[in-house]
Amino acid sequence: MESLVTPTLYTNSTIHVAFLPEAVSINQQIKEAYQNLGEQDLLRRSHFFNGRYENLYLDRGLIPAIGRVMEQAEMLAQNILQVKHVLRSGFWMNDMGPGHVTTEHDHDDDDELLSGVYYVHVPENAGELVVLDKQMHTRTLVTPQAGMFVFFAPTVLHSVTANLSEERRLSMGMNFGPMA
């Protein structure tokens, strides 16, 4: 499988953006497998706001293509953090239907070193990622694209504007930290 030659394609003081080379095929596999999951396949759900759970946790083995995304994400995280050692990583799915938003939050809960999102399915007008770094006094709007990774510090506040499309938007949230 092809790997990213230049992992970080765009960096500013708040975000790092990269793209998965084989995203079309991998995203189709993830989307199809995700659509076939049932409630019994979820390990847990969290962050119930505005009538939906924002975070849906499942076993990586249920959707094998997620392994390829996380492999690339882990490599990118090592590059961004400039570390050679293996990082602990975790992920969850974010399934945003029409009209849904993701509330402003950060990931500064434990010992995370880096947070990120990977976009699986992004219809037009499905909401923008709003990244607000109070330390740097910056507000960045990101229009997501399928196959895009966006990484940021866990202390950075972020949210997603309303999904104005008629379709569901599917993404993967992720955190990276030191191995225990």
Q: Tell if the pTM clears 0.75, that is, is over it.
A: yes
Q: Dihedral sign for Cα 115, 63, 128, 15, please.
A: positive
pLDDT at 86: 84
Question: How does strand 157-160 pair with strand 102-105?
Answer: antiparallel
Domain architecture of the chain: domains with CATH: 10-178 (2.60.120.620)
pLDDT at 3: 44
Alpha carbon distances (Å) from 97 to 51, 127, 143: 11, 11, 17
To the nearest 10 degrees (0 to 180), the angle between helices 65-81 and 23-35 is 130
> First and final CA of the chain: distance in angstroms?
30
Among 77, 72, 2, CA closest to 30: 72
pLDDT in tens, the chain (180 residues): 444 444 444 566 678 999 998 899 999 999 999 999 888 887 777 666 677 766 777 888 899 999 999 999 999 999 999 998 888 898 999 999 899 888 777 777 778 899 999 999 999 999 999 988 777 777 788 999 999 999 998 888 888 999 999 999 999 999 999 876
pLDDT at 127: 93
pLDDT at 53: 66
CB 175 within 8 A of CB 115: yes
Alpha carbon distances (Å) from 68 to 22, 38, 39, 107, 161: 10, 22, 24, 23, 28
pLDDT at 14: 79
Distance CA(58)–CA(42), nearest Å, equals 5
The contacts of residue 40 (CB under 8 Å, 6+ apart) are none
Burial call 49-74: b when 16+ CB within 10 Å, e when fewer: eeebbbbbebeeeebebbebbbebbb
